[in-house]
Structure 1
Amino acid sequence: MSEENYIAAGVDTVRLKLVHVSNAEAEARLERDELEKFPQVLESMQRARSMASAAVYPREFEALNPAPVVAVLSRDDAGKFVELVRRKTGVSLYERAVKIAVEGDVFIVAIEYHCG
């Protein structure tokens, strides 16, 4: 789905899904100061890093079943974040998920599409 079609659905907020992964090659590296403009994303990355799906799955299956964390951004902030990722990777988050490294951790970041 394109960004235009997503926004045309009349959304005021955009939900990003973030998953912390232990073994993945990042497509881009974002510096903490670049992310400070997006406190919701930083906070969600911290939660994703500390959140263990061991509460649902045995620990050995955690890597196979990572639990996503959702960051809710305003439409304007989401546009700025998507543009930052696009500049670093050449890919729009509206097209596909992207693996991003931040301070030595790797996160899969994707736009959550609304149903209906």
Structure 2
Amino acid sequence: MTDEDRGATEAVDSVLAALADPTRRRLLDLLAAQGEASATALADRLPVSRQAVVKHLAVLDAAGLVSGSRVGREVRYAVRPAALDATARWMAALAADWDRRLARIKRIAESTEGP
């Protein structure tokens, strides 16, 4: 495995780990709908504390799923779609590989079937 492949695999692993948590998925949904928001505004929409939201946003940021930018005294977060796009491409390639394997198995099975 090349360093580039290893980096891509680690990025997908990080995205999937971040998305495994329902609160983080909800945060992404809220940010996608709103465009951008502060941790305080996001916490108002969730049954968790602002501190918990900040921790979840840090995980999403580390995975490349969100970015924060300072606006005055607050940090406003927004979705960064590149990491999701890369993960979706990886999943599509994995699905295509399985489709090819299953088609080959089907061809073999059908060719060995007797009348």
Larger helix fraction of residues: 2
Larger radius of gyration: 2
Identify whether the pair has TM-score above 0.5, normalized to the shorter chain.
Answer: no
